[in-house]
Structure 1
Amino acid sequence: MKKKSFLLTAVLLLALSMFLAACGGSEESSGEKGDGEKKGSDKPKFMSIVTGGTGGTYYPLGGAFAEIISDATGIQTNAEVSGASAENMNTLKDGAAEIAFSQTDIASYAKDGKLMFEGAAVDNVSAIGTLYPETIQIVTTAKSGIKSVEDLKGKKVSVGAPGSGTNPNAEQILEVHGMTFDDINKQDLSFDESTAGIQDGTIDAAFVTAGTPTGAVEGLSATEDIVIIPIAQDKIDALIEKYPYYIQDEVPSGTYKLKDAVPTVAVQAMLVVSNDLSEDVVYDVTKAIFENLDKVTHAKGKLIKAENAIKGVGIEIHPGAQKYYDEKGIKAE
């Protein structure tokens, strides 16, 4: 009887010790993970870059960046297909990715909880830097007789697909000209629908926010004498002062058979990062990208330069990225 009691006690003690050890291990593991998530102090084994659709620019660039980061940092990084800017910001908010492509204006709306992010601000992200311009092109034809933004009054004008980034671009450009959507016959059309509408005469002009040359506009230029409506310098200055994510830009001569360059503005494609990543990790990522651009084969890679990366960012720069720019003596103008 005593022997059985002794064995039973021994078994219970062994079980208790195993249970306590398991709890201690779980707490230690959980604690370490929690600290890493809270402070971003640990180097992750894996990272995701959310990009855009496979037919766009973000996805192939993201693939190139993912390979560069993997090779340079040892962190296995993958590019993921996504719905682009607005979706990407929410993906970072949810902690489902570490790095994302976005337009500068969309990132700013997300941080400030404005427009499509009203009541749902994304407050856990910072910028790595801007990449290349996405130009706002106000497209019409010579036969329309439209030569200025003010000439759009009373005309049928496409301001982009519903929920697109082009819509607020159009609204803000009209704003600095003392106009609103009430001053135009607003149409909510995609780029392809817009150029088709201009061609068949159902609309007069369209706002297009995209890298130049834009395929839909190029297609239109094959059959029509394209006009890109210029934005005057004082209006450009006023727009940039109020909305710092814009930069001055132009549509180069020769584009769409234009005889002269046309002054306008652009938002920019940018990289945004989760604040959960440490300063050291983001520094390494920033350095890897900007010092290996020769490995990027996409045409837009030629436009990406570290010295331009903090122009028109519109949101805070992550300390790790800022450390890299400081080392290189790169300053915002």
Structure 2
Amino acid sequence: MKKNFFKLTAILSVLALFVLAACGSGSNNGSGDKEVEFLSILTGGTTGTYYPLGGMFAQLIEDETGISTTPESSQASAANMTGLKDGKAEIAFVQTDIAYYAANGELMFEGDKIDMVSAIGALYPETVQLVTTAKSGIKTFEDLKGKKVSVGAPGSGTYANAEQLLEIHGLSIKDDIKAQNLDFGESQESLQSGQIDAAFITAGTPTAAVETLNATTEVVIVPVEDAKADELIKKYPYYAKEVVPKGTYGLEEDVPTVSVGAMLVVQNDLPKDVVYKITKAIYEGAGSLTHPKGKFIKTETGLNGIGIPVHPGAKKFFDENGVKAEQ
């Protein structure tokens, strides 16, 4: 009897170990069996590009997965990475440069490395726009000296872009301009009322806030000259040359500037099969999007410029389509 008791105890112990191993596996690599009943997408301000696209993505995801999905307005890139870390959402829009900083614990994430987030894929160029009005008289970066300039919230992607572009032009946020920490909507209203002279806005073009401004006043986008763009890219290689096309915001000619990339990121512990369906929904459904940026969202460029690990579910989708990361 005693012998049978010990035998039964041993069997139960082994079974318990198997159960524990199964429960513990995949919690950080998307291979677990976490049940998902609701998904939230962190976007940006309602007058930017992330928010309207987030609403369209939510519908694509819900149609593909059957999971209720909702876009949430936010303070955009840097705040979104922190939001995922804090469990406020499962998916988020983020600039490629900010995702890189977070994953490596650099700049605004120094001492606060975020390594529990991975990539779904690249979306479209995020144009760095230095927006002003014709009546301001500002035509170059040098004209910003002593002016009131919106640079976004401290720690935001826009703030980092503003700081780096000003640096390349020999200017400092702290010493050479009167920096204002406004979001896109506040920047638009303040430019319109004359309370500020210019604003940095990093977003896909056309940007709703700038289009709204153009409805009441003549918009000027300050150019980033070719030599300065080269200097910027040499020091910060995640930038690329970009153009705000003629006709955008009523512009009479193309305006050269620079861009970073927009991407989608996801919590690592979201199940592989769910992230696979999310990725499939977005890249196969992009052609149906009514937003102008939909034409840039393509499977074949989905891994371009990704500086952080790709979620296994997204990787499965790109592998099936023969898409590899840039070397």
Query: What is the TM-score with the length of structure 2 in the denominator?
Result: 0.79
> Alignment partner for residue 131 of structure 1, among 123, 127, 145?
123
Name the CA distance, whole Å, in 1 between partners of 2:22 and 2:310: 27
Q: Does 1:57 align with 2:52?
A: yes
Give structure 2 stretches of 5+ with no counterpart. Answer: none
List aligned pairs for 1:210-221, cutoff 5 A. 210-221=203-214
The one-letter code of the counterpart of 1:67 is: E
CA contact 2:29–2:311 (8 Å) conserved in 1: no
Report the CA distance shift for 1:202/1:93 in structure 2 as closer, same or farther (over 3 A): closer
- CA shift in 2, pair 1:50/1:218, >3 Å: closer
Confirm or deny that 1:34 pairs with 2:29. Answer: no
Distance in 2 between residues matched to 1:133 and 1:165, nearest whole Å: 14
* Structure 1 residues 57 and 21: CA distance shift in structure 2, 3 A: farther
Using a 3 Å threshold, how does the CA distance of structure 1 residues 42 and 197 change in structure 2: closer, same or farther? closer
The 8 Å contact of residues 247 and 312 in structure 1, kept in 2 or not, is answered as no
Q: CA deviation at 1:235?
A: 2.0
Q: C-alpha offsets along residues 217-257 of structure 1, whole Å, 9 cap, x if unaligned? A: 22322332221101012222332333333332222211221
Shift of 1:263: 1.1
The CA RMSD over aligned residues, in Å, is 3.6
Match of 2:80 among 88, 93, 96: 88
- What are the superposed Cα offsets for residues 58-109 of structure 1, whole Å, 9 maximum, x if unpaired? 53133134235517xxxx5744536343343234435675543222232122
Residue of 173, 177, 190 corresponding to 1:184:
177
Q: Does 1:200 align with 2:193?
A: yes
122, 146, 161: which is aligned to 2:138?
146
User: In structure 2, how many angstroms separate the alpha carbons of the residues matched to 1:108 and 1:62?
Assistant: 23
The answer for the alignment partner of 1:70 in structure 2 is 65
Paired residue total: 318
- Tell me which residue corresponds to 1:332: 326
Matching of residue 241 in structure 1 with residue 234 in structure 2: yes
Between 128-137 and 82-91, report the one with greater CA deviation: 82-91
1:253 aligns with 2:255: no
Question: How high is the sequence identity, in percent, across the aligned residues?
Answer: 52
- Distance, in Å, in 2 between the alignment partners of 1:201 and 1:88 is 31
- Give 5+ residue unaligned stretches, structure 1: 1-8
Question: Closer, same or farther in 2 for the Cα pair 1:22/1:303, shift >3 Å?
Answer: same
1:292 aligned onto 2:285: yes
Rg comparison, structure with higher value:
1
Q: 1:57 to 1:268 in 2, by over 3 A?
A: farther
Distance 2:316 2:124 in 1: 21
**Which AA in structure 2 matches 1:133?**
P
- How far apart in 2 are the matches of 1:97 and 1:108? 19
Q: Which residue, 294, 298, 304 being the options, matches 1:305? A: 298
Residue identity opposite 1:184 in structure 2: I
Partner of 1:120: 112
8 Å CA contact 2:283, 2:299 repeated in 1 = yes
Cα distance, 1:185–1:196 mapped onto 2, change above 3 Å: same
Matched with 1:6 is none
Task: State which drifts further: 92-101 or 170-179.
Answer: 92-101
2:148 alignment partner, one of 156, 174, 188: 156
Matched residue, 2:265: 272
Deviations, residues 41-68 of structure 1 (Å, cap 9, x unaligned)? 4455427353336942353133134235
Q: How far apart in 2 are the matches of 1:331 and 1:271? A: 15
Give the C-alpha shift of residue 174 in structure 1: 0.9
Cα 1:186–1:80 shift into 2, 3 Å: closer
